Structures are given as structure tokens and as C-alpha cells.
Amino acid sequence: MNMRVLVSLGLGLSILATSLLAAGLDDIKNKGVLSASLYKDFPPYSYVADGKQMGIDVDIANALAAKLGVSSQIRLVGADENVEDDLRNNVWKGHYLGGGVTDVMLHMPVDNAFSEKVDKVKFVAPYQLEQVVFAFDTNKVGKQPTLANFMSDTIGVEIDTLSDLYLLEAMQGQISKNIHHFDSLSKAAAALKAGEIAGVMGPRGELEGLLKDRPDHIQVQSLVTPGLARSSWAMGVAVKADNEELAKAINENMASLVNDGTIKKIFEQYKVTYTPPAIAPEVTAKN
Amino acid sequence: MKSGDLFRKILLASAISFALTSAPLMAAVTDQDIANDATTTNDVVSYGLGLQGQRFSPLDKLNAETVKNLVPAFVLSYGDEKQRGQEAQPLVHNGKIFVTASYSRVFTVDAKTGEELWQYDHRLPDGILPCCDVVNRGGALYDNLFIFATLDAQLVALDQDTGKVVWKEKMEDYKAGYSNTAAPIIVNGKVITGVSGGEFGIVGKVEARDAKTGKLIWMRPTVEGHMGTLDGKDNGITGETNKSWPGDLWKTGGAATWLGGTYDAETNTLFFGTGNPAPWNSHLRPGDNLYSSSVLAINPDDGKIKWSYQWTPHDGWDFDGVNEFVSFDLKQADGKVIKAGGHADRNGFFYVLDRTNGQLISANPFVNKITWAKGIDLKTGRPEYDDANRPGAPTGADKGQSVFAAPSFLGGKNWMPIAYNPGTDLFYVPSNEWGMDIWNEPISYKKGAAYLGAGFTIKPLNEDYIGALRAMDPKTGKIVWEAKNKAPLWGGVLTTAGNLVFTGTPEGYLKAFDAKTGQELWKFQTGSGVVGCPITWEQDGEQFVAVPSGWGGAVPLWGGEVAKSVKHLNQGGSLWVFKLPKTPA
């Protein structure tokens, strides 16, 4: 029953000591710091290399803070069972073991149906469209594979992801016996490079980042995925629901970062294809 | 730890000299003490008041007549803001009471005065996301040690007199989602533990370590295909590789042993329950998924599996099978006695098995509503599923068929241990009447990415109560009496030769019932919900009762209608100790 307890743990808890407090826009400007939660061990988006915080989301958070005229303070956090838990732990309530909340969290879905379920935060400033794709070894499955190839060839996934659950059921369960489960997509990508498996299914940004130095026989592209309800979603920023001024400022500043090409440049630095979201962040006229 | 060693030697020396002259007052806890725990009345040195886990005390000074005179002796506050879910069972030895508390803390008090002797606050690492709450269910005593498991999956042995760390062993990597909240048990010098962890990517196991040093002796994985070890060498795989799982899912099959286990000396067998299989949706893993939602009978000498019984094959309701297996003598009409074991599963059935071979003897509902199965076939030992009530496959954009299932995944009975009274021949089961709506939830996200989750709502089945303490006759499978409670029951049970049954309620009461009739005889308001395990012992000719108080655990975390019955309850953290005075006031 572990999963369910974890999912809702903390709903009834009072906050313990909070070292970080989410601040309003004025407070952020007075303090001179924008605090942001990003996922840890999550290349190419947010990770630590040589003791330094690196990644696309790290650079975006820094650019956003710079636009606001403040410095950034980035907290790399573990992913809980789902995004609702992450938001409770990091944006609107704080984890029951302490640590408090941050002003914003990046890499959050901008999805109206989802927003309706999560009323404690606002999802703003969509900056990227993430998409589930495949990386594959052309020596094993050729240059034009389809999903059916993996009824006979092996495919890796990060455990307990959309790709994992989709492939277990896809093609009437005919792929399930060929799935190799990895505890991270990095390990799946390494196995693909080492020739141990024929393909990997996962989000494009992650796969391209992990396979940025890939040989020619490893390709990344989307394949037709019958029965997969959603293969793409917009990523944005989560802000505590009552922090309206901050939400507005984040939206506006992200819009100019998207429009002036800064975001695209950041993605290119990490050799990841940049796909802008269908809904660009709104530029609200200043009153 | 030179000074600690010296102290231990002095302690041992004094224990020996006492033993030569008179009663050993300062004795270290021995294997014999633990083996006799169920029958000795002046101490409680094991989880379950004896390793069989009967939670029965032969004391009878306190009885249906005298319980009205039971009064508080003292109370210890755990202090600070960590007031959450006190699910522990205290231990008593050598004039001290030992109790664990939420957030991996330990308190020791003088059993006469209630004065705190020492407190141990385990330093939890930053950024842990422990699975399954911050509770702790208790420790184990051995030699001069108090041994308990922590939220960051360490096993810590403290000096009983000073609270100083004697040894500390990492059981698993907390960063990979492992945790531990169960009470260890000691069997012939070995400390035996399970492990808990997040739903995905983990594999359950049972481990035995040298209780004096923490050194690993054997390890037995609970999912088929994984290799066990003995003294650092391979010791045979569990089951048959990939017999009951598709693809490589056995590698990450779940089956966590998060509630620990019991031991029966007559058959020299450990009984460890296992959690649900992963992934959660059963349609993605056709097969029985061994040994998830099962009980494993394990040889404590080498970690080999003697037999297994699966409560819920191909579990699709998150029922788990971790609940305790309690050894007892099943007395038959013809006077024959079967070495049996009783188990009240999350899935709503009360099972009696032959504990020498795992054969099913009987399985009867201990809750009023069970939708997932029509019954358990006594010939095959398998459930007769009601396929209409299995949660659906996570197909595409559809929300998936919503299914109402009873019991809910919190179980007809959850973690809180049952008790067996050999005098009344009854089991006492803290049960709950609730079901759940469960459906596939296409609009969900995990680690910032789209995901296929499950949605669920827990619903009470009755307006006036959820909890019901029930007396089950293991010979007939009939419910003999029940005592209803508005809020769900979440605390352990104690029964005594004084014809009494004790248990706590979330409303804050410790209550005593007549073991034969279920009549409520006594109650005391502790100020916060009682979700811990009561114990009793004798001290200076007086009978004592102790129970932790502090509302928490899984119940308050759930929304919907259940939350309404518990919303007003305040959290807490204290140890209440009661006694029956020699001369009533």
C-alpha cells in the first residue's frame, strides 16, 4: 500500500520549521533572491556536474531571476510519487520533514485539465513542448522502425513512467516481454549506446541530452504510438496560487525570454531540439 | 567506544555475580528471556509479547472485576513539534521502559518514576522522501542493546543504559526510496528485519544479522528469481526465475516486507508477510507475481524458504499481505491440536493455516463487505475472484472503468496487530469497514512528465462507524462479538488472562473490554489518538499497562468522507503508564 500513503502523505500535516518561505514579488525584489525548485539528478535539465548546478532548467531559472533583477537560489529536489506531491513539498506547503518551500518550481506541466485538479498553485509561463519519442539503434531495427519492431527487439524504459506503462500494454502486450526496466533514463541510454538494447522510449529532451554524443547509428525520432492518449505536453513554472503578482511577473519575463530566443539558445547549448509550446506565455500589458 | 566496552564488561560481571547469589536484577537480555517472554510477567522484551505475536499476558490481577480501579501512574511527553503517529509498542526490562517515537526517536524512562533516563534522536539526512509515513513501530532488546530501524533505512543498536550508539548498519539506500518503520525481532542471537520502500524499483527481502555486531548473516529476497545469501555466499534463488511475471518485471517486483515478522520456536520458523506487486495495475503483469501479497515461512538458521502461501494472487487492489501471522494451537472437536497460525488480511479474510506446511485450514470474512472475491476455495487455497470488480486496464484516453472495491486498500485490517487469547480461544481483530472507488487517471504527471496514474476515494460503508474491534473464533470462523467505533481503528490489541482486551481509539481513549462478551469495562482519555500497541507487566506486586498516545499514521492523510470522522483529532506524542494499585484509592 506504500504508493497510496506516499501520494497523500502530508495532506493533514502542519508545516514544521520552514527555513525557506515563498515570497511575494516585492519581497523577492527586496531580498534580491528568487528561489526555485528543480528536479535533481535529471540531465540535461537539472543536475550537478563537478560540484556545479548545471542544465537547461538551471539556466532558465537563472535567466528568469536575472530578468527580475535578482539572483537565483536553486534547490535540487527529489521527485515524489507524482507532481501534486512535488508541488506540496516544494511550492505551497513544504515537506513534513522540514525545508520549507521555494518561490517557483520549473518543469511543471501547463495543462488546463490538470490545473483544475491542483488549486493550490498556478501553472504559468509555458516555455517548452516535451514529447515522448524513441531512440533506437539502426543496426538493429533499421532506419524506419515502427512500434512493431519491439515485438521482437528489446527496448529500455525508465521504470514507472508513461513509456513503461504504455509499452507494457501496447500491441496487445506483445512488447512487454522485451522491455528492459532501468531505474533511470541515463542507464537506459547507456545500455543503448553499449548495444545491449535496440531502443529506448522516453521524453525527447531527456533522450537527446543523454545521447548528445551519439554515434550515427543511434537516432532519436517520434514513432506512431497507437493508443497513447497524450504524447506531448507543455512545460512551465508553478507558483503558489495566491502569489498573483509573482505569477504575472514570471509569465511576462518568460515571454520575453522565449521571444528574444534566449530559451532556444539554452536548449541548443545542451544539444536538445527546442520545441516551443503551442500556447506561448502571455505578455500582459502593464497597467 | 572503549568506555562503552568497559561499561558493558562491568555490567556483565555484575550480572554474573548476581546470578550466582540471587535473582539477576541487572541481567542483559538473553535468548532465553526472549523465548520465555510470553510467559514471564515482569518484563516485555519482544514485539508481540513473545515472538509468536499472540499479545497475550498471563497476568490476571487486573481483570474484568478490578479494571475499574486502573489509574494513571505517569505520563511522558515526547516534546518538540514532531507530534505525529505514535504507533510503537513499548518494551520493559530491568526497571526501564523503552519506546520508539515518530521521526526515528527513542525514549527510555525509569519504570518506577516515569523520569526520562535518555532520549535518542536519529539524525535524518536532508532531502529524504521516506515512503510510508514517519512512524516507528518499536525496537528489540538483546544483551545490553536496544535495536531499532530508522526512516533512512538504518539499523541502530543503542546501549540500554546510556542511549549511546553501539553499532549502526545501513540496511538499504534511502536515496533509492528505501525506509524502515517496523520493529525488528531477535531469534537466537540474530536480529531479523524486513524492508520498506517506494512502490517501484525495489524488491522486498528479509535479513538476519548478528544482534551483537550488526554483521549480516543471511538475506532472503521475497520475489522469485533473486539470489539469497548466507555468510556472504550465494544461497539459492527465491522460487523459480520468471515463473509468474512477464518480461523483466520480477527484477523490480515489489513485495516489500515493511511490517516485519513473527517467529515460532516450536517449528523454528519465521513468518514474514510481503507487500503488493509492482506496477500497481494488475493488467500490466499477468501471473501470480510470486511472492507478493504472501506469507513466507523461513528457516531462521539459513534464510531458506520452507513454504509460502499467497493471500492475494495477482493483487490488483493494493491489498498487501504484510499483516502478521500469529502462531497458536488450534484445538479441534476430537481433542486433536493442530499447530496453526491466524492472519487477518487487508483483503478482508481471516485465514487459519497449518503452520508446519502452509496448508489452508479455513478462510472467513472478518468484515461485512468483500467485493473482490466470493470466497477462498479450501481445496485449491485460491480466491474465487469476482472479475467484474477488478480495477480496469489503463487504456488510452478513457478514464477507465471506475470500480467500487471493498475493503479499501487501507484494508479490513491494516498494520495494527491482532491478539490471541488461549483462555477464550479467540482472536481479537481491530477491523475497519470501508471501501474505495478506484479508476485509471489519464491526467496525471510524475517528475514533470505525463503519466498514467490511478484515482481513488475511500468511503465508509456505514454512517455511524468505520472501526470495529471483533472477536473471531478460529475454529468456526464466526465473529463472536464486536465493539464499534466511529473513527477507523488504527492501534494494536492486547489480551490477558484476566479476561480483558485492550485497544486504543483515534478519539483518544485506551479501552478495556470483557474478552468473552465484548462489553466495554473501562476507558481513559489520553489527550490524543491512540494508534500504538498496549502492553502489560508486573512490577513490585502491581500490574501495569502502558500505551503510546499520538494521532497520525495513514488515516488522517486521506481526503473524502473518511477525513470527516478524524479531522478534529489533535496530534500528540506521549507515553501513558497506568497501574492497578495494591489498595484501590
- B57 and B46 Cβ atoms separated by less than 8 Å: no
The rounded distance, in Å, linking the Cα atoms of B503 and B343 is: 18
Contact B279 A160 (CB under 8 A): yes
Per-residue pLDDT, averaged over A34-58, amounts to 97
Chain A residues with CB under 8 Å of B126 CB are 99
Q: What is the mean pLDDT of residues B514-518?
A: 98
Residue numbers in A near B452 (CB within 8 A): 162, 165-166
At B84-96, the pLDDT tens digits run: 899 999 999 999 9
Query: How many CA atoms lie less than 13 Å away from B192 in the CB half-sphere?
Result: 26
> Mind listing the pLDDT tens digit for each residue in B410-454?
999 999 999 999 999 999 999 999 999 988 887 899 999 999 888
- For A104-127, b/e burial (b = at least 16 CB within 10 A) is bbbbbbbbeebbeebeebbbbbbb
Give me the mean pLDDT over the A82-104 stretch. Answer: 91
Q: Give the closest-approach CA distance of B348 to chain A in angstroms.
A: 15
DSSP assigned state of A196: S
Domains of chain A are 20-129+234-269 (3.40.190.10), 130-221 (3.40.190.10)
The pLDDT of residue B585 is: 55
pLDDT band of B389, cuts 50, 70, 90: confident
pLDDT classification of B132: cutoffs 50, 70, 90? low
Q: What are the residue ranges of helices labelled H in chain A? A: 2-8, 25-31, 56-68, 83-87, 112-117, 138-141, 162-169, 185-193, 204-210, 244-259, 262-269
Residue pair A74/A56 in contact by the 8 Å Cβ criterion: no
| d(C-alpha B141, C-alpha B43), whole Å | 11
Q: Select from A14, A159, A180 the Cβ nearest to the Cβ of B200.
A: A159
Q: What angle do CA B466, B471, B473 make, to 5 degrees?
A: 135
A228: closest chain B residue by CA? B396
More confident residue, B441 or A28: A28
Residue B398 has pLDDT above 90, yes or no: no
- Burial (CB count within 10 angstroms: exposed 0-12, middle 13-18, buried 19+), residue B277: buried
Structural domains in chain B, CATH included, are 2-52+130-486 (2.140.10.10)
Q: How far apart are the CA of B514 and the nearest CA of chain A, in angstroms?
A: 33
pLDDT band at residue B127 under the 50/70/90 scheme: confident
Q: Give me the pLDDT at residue B20, please.
A: 44
> Hey, are the CB atoms on A39 and B410 less than 8 Å from each other?
no
pLDDT at residue number B21: 42
Q: Angle B405-A163-B445 (CA atoms, 0-180°, nearest 5)?
A: 65
The mean-pLDDT minimum among A142-151, A172-181, B126-135, B459-468 falls in B126-135
pLDDT mean across residues, chain B = 92
Q: Indicate if the pLDDT at residue B455 is higher than 60.
A: yes
Instruction: Tell me which residue has cell 505514535.
Output: B86
- Closest residue to B446, CB basis, from A13, A79, A111: A79
Mean pLDDT check: name the lowest of A120-134, A184-198, B338-352, B551-565: B551-565
pLDDT above 70 (res A73): yes
Q: Which of A6-15, B357-366, B390-399 has the highest mean pLDDT?
A: B357-366
- A86: which chain B residues are within 8 Å (Cβ-Cβ)? 447
Supply the DSSP string of B439-493, one letter for each residue. EEEEEEEETTEEEEEEEEEEEESSSS-SEEEEEE-TTT--EEEEEEESSPP-S-E
Check B446 against A82: CB less than 8 A apart: yes
The interface predicted TM-score of the complex, written ipTM, equals 0.89
B-chain CB neighbours of A228 within 8 Å are 396
Nearest residue in chain A measured CA to CA from B279: A160
Q: How confident is the model at residue B287 (pLDDT cuts 50, 70, 90)?
A: very high
Question: What is the pLDDT at residue A7?
Answer: 36
Is the pLDDT confidence value at B24 over 80? Answer: no
**Residue B382 and residue B369 in contact, taking contact as beta carbons nearer than 8 Å:** no
Q: Which residue has the cell 531469534?
A: B187
- pLDDT of residue B397 exceeding 70: no
Q: What is the mean pLDDT of the segment spanning A30-39?
A: 96
Q: Which residues pair with B306 in a beta bridge?
A: none
Cβ-Cβ contacts under 8 Å between A and B: the total is: 180
Higher pLDDT, B168 or B132: B168
- Say if strands B269-273 and B373-376 run parallel, antiparallel, or are unpaired: unpaired
> How much of chain A, in percent, has pLDDT values that exceed 90?
80
Which cell numbers hold the place of B573?
506524542
How many C-beta neighbours within 10 Å does residue B232 have? 11
User: What is the residue whose three cell numbers read 518503520?
Assistant: B181
Lowest mean per-residue pLDDT among B224-238, B488-502, B571-585: B571-585
Indicate the residue of B248, B256, B563 with minimum beta-carbon distance to A2: B256
Pairwise CA distance, residues A164 & A203, whole Å: 12
Active site amino acids of B: 318
Query: How is residue A226 written as a grid cell?
Result: 497507437
User: How far is B539 from B113, CA to CA, in rounded Å?
Assistant: 12
φ, ψ of residue A29 to 5 degrees: the values are -70, -40
Going through B36-179 in order, the beta strands assigned E by DSSP cover 56-57, 71-77, 91-93, 96-101, 105-110, 116-121, 140-142, 145-149, 154-159, 165-170, 178-179
| Contact yes or no for A179 and B248 at CB 8 A | yes
Task: Test A1 with B411 for CB contact under 8 angstroms.
Answer: yes
Residue of B294 and B134 predicted with greater confidence: B294
Q: How close B479 comes to chain A (CA, Å)? A: 26
Q: What chain B residue is nearest to A95 in terms of C-alpha separation?
A: B129
pLDDT of residue B2: 38
What letter represents residue A71's amino acid? S
Integer Cα distance of B478 and B10 in angstroms: 55
3-state secondary structure of B533: coil
CA atoms of A88 and A83, how far apart (whole Å): 9
Give the pLDDT confidence score for residue A96 in this predicted structure. 79
CA B79 to chain CA centroid, nearest Å: 25
Mean pLDDT of A218-242: 94
- For B257-280, what is each residue's pLDDT tens digit? 999 999 999 999 999 999 999 888
Q: What is the pTM of this model?
A: 0.91
